[in-house]
Amino acid sequence: MSENPEPEPEAAALSYLRGADVPLLNLTLSQALSETARKFPDREALVVCHEGVRLTWSELDREVTRVARALAGLGLGPGDRAGIWASNCREWVLLQYAAPRAGVILVNVNPAYRSHELRHVLAKSRIRALFLREKDSRANYREILAESRNGDRLDLEHIVWLGHPSWDAMLAQGADFPENAASPHDVANIQYTSGTTGAPKGAMLSHHNLLNNGMAMGRGLKATEKDRICAPVPLYHCFGSVIGSMVSVVSGATLILPSAQFDALATLTALHRERATAVYGVPTMFIAELEHPEFARFDLTSLRTGVMAGAPCPIEIMRRVVERMHCPEITIVYGQTESSPGITMSRADDALELRVTTVGTALPNTEIQIVDPQTHRRLPIGQQGELATRGYLVMKGYDDDAEATAKVIDPDGWLYTGDLAVMRPDHYFSFKGRSKDTIIRGGENIYPREVEDFLHTHPKIADVYIVGLPDAKLGETVLAWIQLKKGQQATAAEIQDFCRGKIAYFKIPQFIRFVDSFPMTVSKKVQKFLIREQEIEERRLQEVARQATA
């Protein structure tokens, strides 16, 4: 069947698309690993640069069995839950495959969580074992864990410290686990949403969800066992654990982890030394690499492809990655944790213009429609609305939260993303931002992504984020936080002059702040709500904010 998705004939004028039908994998994560180890036993599977670790597929498969036996030795069995609360490391990958081999559900815990958030996740997820380091450059996890457990009765029975004798002690107490301890449609992984608004919710993802999403994105990358994927993105996030690990295991490509947490220099070093053929990152990571003072000394000519995802991807940054990082087949992936995560993707052989101006087209076996956010009525092609998706990729639901699940998945299986998009006549999609990000200024709708993309064309700007501020007269007005390129200087008036005559007057930022960095999650997603809160506080707009949101 053709790789090019086609719309339903009777719905040709409406925003509906189904990706190409390709055979789906009917495997567990454990089975997929064993199959790849059988095919490519002596090829490198995992390189952890900061730990000096190199494992072939056969070595990884054996180590995973050893860790699965250790989980069984702790008394964990099919359906039990174990959490990992750590930055990128060897043990993270081992547990990612060992837990499903023993039938255990792995719960990803964000390393940025502190006691309040951790307490919520520990109680909600009902994990019986937690794997973590005592501390790193970011936090003292032993202290945070102690604070989170203070006075609470939790299901947590085992605490295993990574890089510590307790890990070795666990390995020494292995026991047998059931053969075929899990089936493809069982929950394999619970990934908590970022929690930037409200309490984090656990998206329940099955083996079927994860492996087939990895397969789909691997096809888009044209990934094979000869590829070497450098993934500086966090494994706790779906970017690392799916677009990284799952693409690797279904294709046989080597997964390279350059550092525990993102480090631009470590990433550039890994790309150079390991002769990586693919590189992953969110836009802020690529910007940090491109702007690094030592960038020019690294040979990146081995690169062929990669993925920019996790946040809206500025067109100008995409062009610079293609040209300066010698990455001609870089792709865009759009999705969210609840969709395992990929929904759309540009393909490695798409024309550059498609790859820099859209988020690609429907991934295989994936249905997409653009609907009116209020009525869920399907909209005509070319009209902006909310993107909804259906198919194998949709999560099984939010853990122990039927009410929240029902708000985003309808009885027909459509997952409503809360994201604004347009389906173009060529069946590619333009991402327009979160519907809740819309700024309404004097009755005019402003989509921050549009203004951000425009400002990225300014020669002095490295990165920029647009936020709406409450305004007594207009309802909201436009604020820009701008990070300039190294050695550059600019004024607010200069930026506003650059906008005049090029974008509508009401989109021009009224307020501009030049910053060195942005508030971010561990996965390098900018937390716009913190920008907004800081500005409201500093500009003494609290009363106006209360009136504007009443």
pTM recorded for the entire structure: 0.87
Please give, one letter per residue, the 3-state secondary structure of 461-511.
EEEEEEEEEEECCCEEEEEEEEEECCCCCCCHHHHHHHHECCECHHHCCCE
Q: Is 516 a domain residue? A: yes
**Same domain, residue pair 126 and 161:** yes
Helix then strand count (H, E) for the chain reads 18, 26
Q: Is 4 a domain residue? A: no
Assign residue 341 the CATH number of its domain: 3.40.50.12780
- Per-residue pLDDT of the chain (550 residues), as tens digits, is 345 554 444 445 999 999 999 999 999 999 999 999 999 999 999 999 999 999 999 999 999 999 999 999 999 999 999 999 999 999 999 999 999 999 999 999 988 888 878 888 999 999 999 999 999 888 899 999 998 887 666 779 999 999 899 999 999 999 999 999 999 999 999 998 754 345 678 999 999 999 999 999 999 999 999 999 999 999 999 999 999 999 999 999 999 999 999 999 999 999 999 999 999 998 889 999 999 999 999 999 999 999 998 777 778 888 999 999 999 999 999 999 999 999 999 988 898 888 888 999 999 999 999 999 989 999 999 999 999 999 999 999 999 999 999 999 999 999 999 999 999 999 999 988 777 777 878 767 788 888 998 899 999 999 999 999 998 888 889 999 999 999 999 999 999 999 988 888 889 999 999 999 999 887 778 889 899 999 999 999 988 887 643 3
Output the CA angle 198-194-527, nearest 5 degrees: 85
Q: Could you give the CA distance from residue 509 to residue 317 in angstroms, rounded to a whole number?
A: 21
Q: Could you give the CA distance from residue 288 to residue 271 in angstroms, rounded to a whole number?
A: 14
| Cβ 528 vs Cβ 465: under 8 Å | yes
What pLDDT is stored for residue 353 in this prediction?
85
Length of the chain, please? 550
Q: Is 19 a domain residue? A: no
What pLDDT is stored for residue 1 in this prediction?
38
Output the CA angle 475-477-478, nearest 5 degrees: 155
**Same domain, residue pair 372 and 460:** no
What pLDDT is stored for residue 460 in this prediction?
97
Q: Which range of residues forms the domain containing residue 77?
A: 29-423
Q: Could you give the CA distance from residue 62 to residue 400 in angstroms, rounded to a whole number?
A: 34
Residue 417 parent element (H or E): strand 415-423
Q: Is 15 a domain residue? A: no
What pLDDT is stored for residue 445 in this prediction?
74
The CA-atom distances, in angstroms, between 94 and each of 113, 173, 256, 396 are 22, 17, 14, 24
Q: Is 13 a domain residue? A: no
**Same domain, residue pair 397 and 500:** no
Final residue before a domain boundary, out of 372, 392, 423: 423
**Same domain, residue pair 86 and 230:** yes
**Same domain, residue pair 347 and 470:** no
**Same domain, residue pair 325 and 401:** yes
What pLDDT is stored for residue 10 in this prediction?
45
**Same domain, residue pair 167 and 39:** yes
**Same domain, residue pair 187 and 244:** yes
| Cβ 353 vs Cβ 430: under 8 Å | no
Q: Is 429 a domain residue? A: no
Q: Is 222 a domain residue? A: yes
CA 120 to chain centre: 22
**Same domain, residue pair 146 and 256:** yes
What pLDDT is stored for residue 298 in this prediction?
98
Assign residue 477 the CATH number of its domain: 3.30.300.30
Domain total in the chain:
2
**Same domain, residue pair 460 and 352:** no
Q: Is 11 a domain residue? A: no
Final residue before a domain boundary, out of 423, 455, 472: 423
**Same domain, residue pair 394 and 496:** no
**Structure tokens of 7?**
């719309």
**Ordered DSSP codes for 131-159:** EE-SB-SS-BHHHHHHHHHTT---S--EE
The CA-atom distances, in angstroms, between 41 and each of 37, 47, 128, 459 are 5, 15, 33, 49
**Same domain, residue pair 339 and 465:** no
Final residue before a domain boundary, out of 389, 423, 457: 423
